[in-house]
Amino acid sequence: MNKDDWDGRFRRVKLSQAEAYPLSSNLDSISLMQRVGNEYNNEASHVVRDVRTDTNLSARKFYAQRNMYLTGFTLFLSLILNRTYSLIIDILRSDERLEKQMETENKLKERVAELEEELESKKNV
């Protein structure tokens, strides 16, 4: 197995681990938001309501929603960074291939020039 295969496998594992944390955090924040929303709705149906419990539930609902938006944005950014990283790697590999092609083209041009000089020298003899 060559170096590029190992690099590709390592990169896939590393990026999948990097995406797993924001995904799990996002799923956790969604479930927390649903639980707090259910508690808020259940408390709203009770006749006796206290300002402190309303404030507490509203604060918990706000924090759950905020966490959901933050983790969702983090997940989105991790996907964008993953794509950007792969594009940069592709560009670097393309540049390396282009440099190799230019080197071989220059070597071929030099060889053609040498052969033309040999041909001219043989014609003159």
CA angle 88, 90, 94 (to 5 degrees): 115
pLDDT, tens digit, for every residue of 61-73?
898 889 889 988 9
Calculate what percentage of the chain has a pLDDT beyond 70.
Answer: 82
pLDDT, tens digit, for every residue of 79-109?
898 889 889 999 999 999 999 999 999 999 9
pLDDT, tens digit, for every residue of 21-48?
778 888 888 888 888 888 877 765 665 6
Which pLDDT score is estimated for 96? 93
Query: Structural domain boundaries of the chain?
Result: 3-99
* Mean pLDDT, the chain, whole residue set: 83
Which pLDDT score is estimated for 23? 80
Cα gap 101→39, rounded to integer Å:
66
Cα gap 28→84, rounded to integer Å:
27
Q: What is the mean pLDDT of residues 50-63?
A: 85
